[in-house]
Amino acid sequence: MAGLEDPLDVQCVADAARDQLSNILSEVDGPKDVVIQADLMSLLNHVTPFSFLKKLGVDHVFKLEPTMNMGGTHRYYITRPDLHAVSQIATHIVSDHNDQQQRDYCIIFVPRQLASCESILEAEGVYGFVRILEWNLHLIPLDAHLLSLERYDTFRSLYVSQDFTHLHSIARSLLLLEGLFGTFPLVHGKGHFAQMVWDLFKRLKELGDTPSFGQLSEQGISEVVLFDRQCDLITPLCSQLTYEGILDDVFRIQSGYVEISSDITQKEQETKVLLNSKDPVFTEIRSLHFSATSLILTEISKNLRHTYREGKSHDSIPALKSFVKRLPELTKKHDSLATHVQVSEHIMAKKKREDFQRQLFYERAILEGADKTSVTDYIEELIQCQADYRLPLRLLCLMSITNNGIKDKYLSSLKDQYLRSYGHKHLVTFHNLQRVGLIQHKAEEQTPHKSTFKLLTKQLKLVPKDPSLYDIYSPKDMSYVYGGAYKPLSCAAIEHIVKTRTWRGLDDVVRSWKGPAFSHPQHTSRDAALAAHQKIVLVYFIGGCTFSEINALRFLGEKTNTNYLIATTNIINPNTLIESVVFSED
C-alpha cells in the first residue's frame, strides 16, 4: 500500500497453502505428473512456482484437456469441484483402462470436494480407482494488501442461482486468517450473505475447525468488515477512471495478470504481464486518475534517461560497478514503462472511438438526478445503433437503482427495443436483472417520493456539489476514483464504521440496505496491544469488488493512517457484473 507499511505478511497465506500441497504430493515417492484445471493455472503461480513442484518430484504440469494420453504412472489432478472437469477426468481414466494403461490417480479438489463430483465418478465406474483429497486453497494473495478467492462465478451463483456453496469457502478463509493473525477483536457486517457467513464462521469455530499456525505477527487485524455486494450495486455499474480500474475494464485483469495482444506491444506473441507492487511503474500509476498517468509516465521516462546518461558518464571503476549492479533493475523498469505507455495509448484511442466522454456525461447525469428524458434518449440511441450490449443495460440499471425503479411505460418501451435489437433470449436477462435488484418496476400511480440514493447521497456526501472544482492530480477525497463525480457508497460506509466502530449514525443507510447490520466483539487478550499499533482493517467483499473500491480504500488508508487489507470473492467491473446476469446458453 503506497505511503504505508504492510505490517501483515499476507504471503504466509500462500505459504500455508503451499505447505499443504507439499504434504499431499510428498505422499508418493518418485516422478509424478500434475494436471491442472485451466482457470487454476494462473492462481498456482501465486502459490507455488514450477521450480518448487520439481523438488517434489513433479516431472510435467499439464492443462486439463478433454483427452490426455501422455504422462507417467502417477497422475495428480488439481481441479475445482466442477462437474464438467470431473467428467473429463473420468473420461481420461476410462480411456486409459481401454488402452490397458496402468496409472495411479489422485484428484485434489480445490478448496473442497462435493458429493455431486463423487456421484459422477461412481456413475462412470471409476470411483474405486481414484484417491480423493482436498487442498484448502482459499484466498490467494494477489498483492501485499489484496486477497481474493478468484471465484468469477460468485455473483451469479449467490444472487441469480441462489447457490450458497461459496459461503463455506468465505467462512473457511476467515478462519484461516484468524488462525494466521489471531482472533478478530471486532467484526462488523451488513447484508444477508454477510450474516450467513458470520453465522457459518461461528459454527465452524465452535466445531473446532480453526487452523492454527502459531502467532506470525505481533500486530493482528484490528477489526473486520463483511460487506454484501448487494448493498451497493451502484459502484460496480459506474465506469472506472483510475488507471488500474480502466485497465481492468478494457483488458480484464484475471488473477493479477493482464494479457496484451501483439498488436499493441509490437511483439511476435501475446504478452502476459503480472500487475502488483513489484512492478515499479505500475506501483506509481495504478491508483491515479487515468488522465494523470501520462504526466507520471513522462516523468519516469525522463528520470530513466537521466539515470542512464549519468551512469555512462562515470569514469571511476567503483561508480561503474555500482551502475552495472543497477542495470537489471533499470532494465525491468524500462520494459515496464514501455508496456504501460503502449497500453495507455491503446486505451486512449479506444475510448476516443467509443466517445467515452459522452458516456461519462450521462453516467454523471444519472448520479446527479438530472433530466431523465435525455438519459432515456441516449440509452435508446445506444440500442438502435447496437452498441456493446452491456452498456445500455448498465445505464438502465444505474437509472433504476438511483430512482427507486423505472416507470412501467418507460421500462417496457426500452425493454422492447432492447429485445428487438439484441435478441429475445434476453427476456431471461431482464428476469435476472429484476431478480437481483438491478432493475425495478415503478407503477405509474405510485406516489413520488425522494429516492433512497438521494438520501444516501445527502448523508454520506456521495456526489460532490461542484465536480468541476475537483483536482484529479491532487485529490482530497475518495471521489477522485470517479473523477470527482461520485464517492463509492461502499467505501463511504466503511469509512464511517471504521471511524465510529458502530453502524450508529447511518440509520438511513442501514434501513435502505437489504439484510441485517451487526457489530460483534470477540474477546481477545490482544486488544490493548492492537490499539497501540497502527490500525489494520480487513474488508471482505462478498460478491466481488472493483479496483476503484480498492484504490479508494488505499487512498483512505493513507489519509487516516490505517492499513486496509482487502479480501474479496473476486474482482468485478461494470462489464463482468452485467455478464454475470445476462442469458447464458451454457
Q: What is the pLDDT of residues 447-490, one digit of tens each?
A: 555 678 888 888 888 988 776 667 788 888 899 999 889 999 99
Cα angle, residue 477 at apex, residues 473 and 483 outer, rounded to 5°: 55
Domains, the chain, in order of start with CATH, read 31-137 (3.40.50.2060), 143-232+466-578 (3.40.50.1910), 245-352 (3.90.830.10), 356-403+405-448 (1.25.40.850)
Phi, psi angle pair for 257, to nearest 5°: -110, 150
Q: At what angle do helices 489-500 and 547-560 cross, to 10 degrees?
A: 30
Closest alpha carbon to 83 in 116, 50, 59: 116
Query: Cα–Cα distance between 294 and 306 in angstroms, integer?
Result: 18
Helix intervals (H) in 439-521: 452-460, 489-500, 507-512
* Residue position matching grid coordinates 406516489: 447
Alpha carbon 276 to chain centroid distance? 13
Give Cα separations from 188 to 164, 184, 267, 491, 523 (angstroms). 21, 11, 49, 14, 14
Instruction: Judge whether 179 and 204 are in contact, CB under 8 Å.
Output: no
Task: Provide the 3-class DSSP secondary structure of residue 185.
Answer: coil
With 0.95 as the threshold, say if the pTM is over it.
Answer: no
SS3 content of the chain, % helix, strand, coil (to 5): 55, 15, 35
Burial of 572 (0-12, 13-18, 19+ CB in 10 A): buried
Per the DSSP assignment, residues forming a β-bridge with 131 are 106
| pLDDT for the residue 105 | 95
| pLDDT for the residue 398 | 96
Query: Cα–Cα distance between 127 and 125 in angstroms, integer?
Result: 6
| pLDDT for the residue 402 | 93
Closest alpha carbon to 334 in 295, 292, 306, 314: 306
Q: Which three cell numbers stand for residue 444?
A: 405509474
Q: Which three cell numbers stand for residue 15?
A: 505459504
| pLDDT for the residue 474 | 85
DSSP state of 239: P
Query: Cα–Cα distance between 195 and 2 in angstroms, integer?
Result: 32
Instruction: Judge whether 39 and 79 are in contact, CB under 8 Å.
Output: no
Phi, psi angle pair for 223, to nearest 5°: -160, 160
| pLDDT for the residue 501 | 87
| pLDDT for the residue 209 | 66
Query: Cα–Cα distance between 313 and 329 in angstroms, integer?
Result: 19
* Residue position matching grid coordinates 503502449: 342
The residues near 337 (Cβ < 8 Å, ≥ 6 apart) are: 281, 297, 300, 301, 304
Phi, psi angle pair for 242, to nearest 5°: -80, 160
Q: 377: how many CB neighbours lie within 10 A of its CB?
A: 12
Q: What is the mean pLDDT of each run of 10 residues along the chain (586 residues)?
A: 60 90 89 92 88 90 90 93 94 93 93 92 94 93 94 94 93 92 92 95 85 60 94 95 95 93 84 91 94 92 83 69 74 91 93 91 91 90 95 96 90 95 95 94 64 85 76 86 92 92 78 83 60 79 97 94 95 96 78
Closest alpha carbon to 3 in 566, 546, 563: 563
The residues near 304 (Cβ < 8 Å, ≥ 6 apart) are: 330, 333, 334, 337
Give Cα separations from 259 to 196, 265, 281, 553 (angstroms). 36, 11, 17, 26
